[in-house]
Amino acid sequence: MSPGTIAGFVGAGLVGLGLYALVVDPKPLRKLLAFNLIGSGVFLVFGIVARRGATGRFPFDPVPQAMVITGIVVAFAATALAVALMLRLAEETGTVSLDPDAGAKPDDGAEDK
């Protein structure tokens, strides 16, 4: 296998792992990390596809690499904004969860007896 093929499989694995974590884990911070994992996998796959296209008989095109770099910068800014919003949510409500019952203790009926 060539290094490009291995990197493509790694990118696809990152996307799959990120999708699994995005669906399974209910915590917002872990969802954000899973979303970043998906983005990293997509950037890797897109970069490999652009590189493989350039190794053929096609002329070198710097646009896909520029798009990947721009996407990384935008993903970093969006992640910083999401973390800032989560910190503000934790500051205001005391919890990061968006569920209104997340901070409440379960009622086991012991107080009524």
Domain of 58, CATH number, reads: 1.10.287.3510
Could you give the C-alpha distances from 68 to 49, 73, 101, in angstroms and in order? 11, 9, 40
User: Taking the mean position of all CA atoms in its chain, how far away is CA 67?
Assistant: 18
CB atoms within 10 A of CB 6: 11
User: Has residue 50 been placed in a domain?
Assistant: yes
User: Has residue 100 been placed in a domain?
Assistant: no
- At 62, list the tokens: 């710097």
By residue range, what is the domain housing residue 25? 3-93
Model confidence pTM above 0.85: no
The total of structural domains in the chain comes to 1
φ, ψ of residue 81 to 5 degrees: the values are -65, -45
Per-residue pLDDT of the chain (113 residues; tens, 9 = 90+): 888 888 889 999 999 999 999 999 888 888 999 999 999 999 998 888 777 665 666 666 778 888 889 999 999 999 999 999 989 988 888 877 766 665 555 555 555 54
User: Has residue 47 been placed in a domain?
Assistant: yes
User: Has residue 49 been placed in a domain?
Assistant: yes
